[in-house]
Amino acid sequence: MKRFILAATVSLMALSTAQAAVTEADVANDQTITSQVVTNGMGRNLQRFSPLDAINKDTVGSLVPAWAFSMGGEKQRGQETQPLVYDGIMYVTGSYSRLYAIDVKTGKEIWQYDARLPEGILPCCDVINRGAAIYGDNIYFGTLDARLVALNLKTGDVVWNKKIADYRAGYSYTAAPLIVNGLIVTGNSGGEFGIVGEVQARNAETGDLVWTRPVIEGHMGTLNGEESTMTGTLNATWPGDMWKTGGGATWLGGSYDADTDTLVFGTGNPAPWNSHLRNAGAPTEGNVGDNLYAASRLGIDPATGEIKWHFQTTPREGWDFDGVNEVVAFTDREGNDRFATADRNGFFYVLNRADGKFVSAVPFVKDISWASGIDENGRPIYNEDNRPGDPSAATDGDKGEMVFAIPSFLGGKNWMPMAYSQRTGNFYVPSNEWGMDIWNEPVTYREGAAYLGSGFTIKPLFEDYIGSLKAIDPDSGEIKWEYKNDAPLWAGVMTTAGGLVFTGTPEGEFIALDDETGEKLWSFQTGSGIVGQPITWEMDGEQYVSVASGWGGAVPLWGGEVANRVNYLNQGGMIWTFKLAK
């Protein structure tokens, strides 16, 4: 449903100054075209780095609000979006599958689209949306009932509306789509419901499917409407029929490495959480029980959907350590082309970009208990005593032995995107120091019902902080500095050529840190917790910075003792835009 709030003079002005349609070149060069932001991650490599430097260490103290926009109404909840900017308009997605077009000079609403969500949607972790993508004359975003919508950039009219999957079976969609060579590429959500993770590619103009790639072994892909190839080898790493409801949701979306022409998608937890039901309760020979390709990173051919390579961060996963966290392409200080990813399991990995092969891994959170390290092949060295126990072996009731595992199932790092600085060569990783009591329980699959087989309670590790933004040298693995925060960090990070690291806190502070020291140089209280993703762009010779404010997401829903610790935080829904005072 689309709604106009627009003065005729503003509409005529926008139409008369309209730029040409967004091209593949515009998308490919999004990081360096400083007047626009048309991709999630400010570039398909997801570095979230801007070459703009007017706002820098010396000037950031003069940063002031230019305008603020309210997302309004009762539909607040978590606002995890990343704004987009093109041709004088900012596009922002909101909770409950809304999309706004805002005049970037004044902050006034141009149009608003509200998805007509049906009864019975099953979002796992709040009614959030993480952003959109622009290509041609359209803007694309997904909805909580697992649909993909194309809207006209200027009018908000629906161009097409396509079904990704059946929401009644537990599927949903929250990530920003990815545009590559005229294809719009999406994943899916719903790993807690026994769904099957999949990557889909559609013709951006028509919405027609080009290919599909399920990410759990045994399932068939498609190409141009026909079956293509099977994912993996049937029953190579899954017992019996459990692959049919194997999880592996691709819920955070993907990145694209142009140098190798490769899509890179992460996959979520295998289903159910109870690893003993998946033949994964004890060390096994070969790959039996690894449950491919859950908890993995996949390199995919964008033209055909074929899997080029895989790297599984947590084989025999049993703690809900999703492997979906973003994979960022970069070049190290010695000139090697690398990928970096900070996994939910607490380890920071570097992979080779040509083939996804393991290069290195280091812990980035404290006191990891489930593994003692990572071996030379990139596989975890398990502490089997820290795997939740097998319920079938229980002697007292039907629960398996409870363990206290670190990190918690919300991860050393969750969805919130890290950033890479081309200025320092370091990554800036939002992390959390927490653990959990976790135990396994019997469970059977029922369509549309939770399929966990586990119980849990999250607990903070330290009295004085939970959140920790860390500057990590990817070459050495050294943590260069750490910025501690009382509440968990759940917002995205952005770096700039001005030597700044921008992020936000649940307490409502939007902050700028020194990229070399971690010193806080500037902050602004937005009035609600920040779980959004900042951007920066240039207009009329001035640099602007924007971020969404609105507390929510998984922490208040799933956070156990941590949720109680932050239950005083207020919800909201605002877009704040800043520039330097004159």
- Contact predicate 195/165, CB 8 Å: yes
- Contact predicate 416/490, CB 8 Å: yes
Residue 40 has pLDDT above 90, yes or no: yes
Can you say how many angstroms the Cα of residue 400 is from the centroid of all Cα atoms in its chain? 32
Counting the structural domains of the chain, the total is 1
Compute the distance between CA of residue 500 and CA of residue 58 in angstroms, rounded to an integer.
10
Compute the distance between CA of residue 472 and CA of residue 428 in angstroms, rounded to an integer.
6
Position 8 scores a pLDDT of 33
Q: Which residues are registered as beta bridge partners of 262?
A: 257
Compute the distance between CA of residue 56 and CA of residue 10 in angstroms, rounded to an integer.
33
Position 283 scores a pLDDT of 47
- Contact predicate 119/75, CB 8 Å: no
**Residues identified as active-site:** 320
In eight-state DSSP terms, residue 61 is G
Of 525, 521, 519, 522, which Cα lies nearest the Cα of 505? 525
Pairing of strands 49-50, 494-496: parallel
Q: What is the mean pLDDT of residues 232-255?
A: 95
Compute the distance between CA of residue 428 and CA of residue 433 in angstroms, rounded to an integer.
16
- Contact predicate 162/173, CB 8 Å: no
Q: Which position has the higher pLDDT, 394 or 375?
A: 375
Q: Which domain holds residue 454?
A: 2-67+76-580
User: What sign does the CA torsion over 142, 147, 150, 151 have?
Assistant: negative
Compute the distance between CA of residue 320 and CA of residue 272 in angstroms, rounded to an integer.
9
Residue pLDDT, tens place only, 245-297: 999 999 999 999 999 999 999 999 999 999 999 984 444 455 678 999 999 99
Position 17 scores a pLDDT of 47
Compute the distance between CA of residue 17 and CA of residue 35 in angstroms, rounded to an integer.
15
- Contact predicate 65/577, CB 8 Å: yes
Residue pLDDT, tens place only, 322-369: 999 999 999 999 999 999 999 999 999 999 999 999 999 999 999 999
Position 15 scores a pLDDT of 40
| Span of 75-79, 317-321, 387-391, 544-548 with lowest mean pLDDT | 75-79
Place of tokens 């009762």: 74
Can you say how many angstroms the Cα of residue 214 is from the centroid of all Cα atoms in its chain? 19
Pairing of strands 467-472, 479-485: antiparallel
Main-chain phi, psi angles of 16, to 5 degrees: -75, -20
Compute the distance between CA of residue 40 and CA of residue 81 in angstroms, rounded to an integer.
9
Residue pLDDT, tens place only, 433-473: 999 999 999 999 999 999 999 999 999 999 999 999 999 99
Burial string for 479-518 (b: 16+ CB within 10 Å, else e) reads: bbbebebebbbbbbbbbbbbbbbbbbbbbbbbbbbbbbeb
Q: Which amino acid is at 445?
A: Y
Residues 6 or more apart whose CB falls under 8 angstroms from that of 381 comprise: 371, 372, 373, 374, 375
Peptide bond into 293 cis (omega under 30): yes
Question: Residue 241 class from Cβ within 10 Å (0-12 exposed, 13-18 middle, 19+ buried)?
Answer: exposed
Pairing of strands 328-331, 307-312: unpaired
Of 145, 133, 132, 46, which Cα lies nearest the Cα of 93? 132
Main-chain phi, psi angles of 270, to 5 degrees: -70, 155
What CATH number does the domain containing 367 carry?
A: 2.140.10.10
Position 74 scores a pLDDT of 67
Q: What is the mean pLDDT of residues 96-110?
A: 97
Does an H or E element contain 555, and which?
helix 555-558
Give a three-class secondary structure readout of 143-177.
CCCCEEEEEECCCCCEEEEEECCCHHHCCECCCCC
With bands split at pLDDT 50, 70 and 90, how would you rate the model's confidence at 72? confident
Position 398 scores a pLDDT of 83
Compute the distance between CA of residue 265 and CA of residue 309 in angstroms, rounded to an integer.
11
Q: Which amino acid is at 156?
A: G
Neighbours of 362 (CB within 10 A): 18
Compute the distance between CA of residue 506 and CA of residue 486 in angstroms, rounded to an integer.
9
Position 377 scores a pLDDT of 96
| Span of 78-87, 283-292, 477-486 with lowest mean pLDDT | 283-292
Q: Residue 331 corresponds to which tokens in the numbers above?
A: 């070049």
Compute the distance between CA of residue 74 and CA of residue 453 in angstroms, rounded to an integer.
34
Long-range contacts of 241-244 (CB under 8 A, 24+ apart): 242/277, 242/278, 243/216, 243/217, 243/218, 243/219, 244/196, 244/218
Main-chain phi, psi angles of 243, to 5 degrees: -65, -25
With bands split at pLDDT 50, 70 and 90, how would you rate the model's confidence at 560? confident
Residue pLDDT, tens place only, 503-554: 999 999 999 999 999 999 999 999 999 999 999 999 999 999 999 999 999 9
Burial string for 422-436 (b: 16+ CB within 10 Å, else e) reads: ebbebbbbbbbbbbb
Residue pLDDT, tens place only, 147-179: 999 999 999 999 999 999 999 999 999 999 999
Largest CA distance in the chain: 75
Compute the distance between CA of residue 502 and CA of residue 421 in angstroms, rounded to an integer.
12
Please, what is the average pLDDT of the chain? 94
Position 14 scores a pLDDT of 40
Residue 104 has pLDDT above 60, yes or no: yes
Residue 20 has pLDDT above 80, yes or no: no
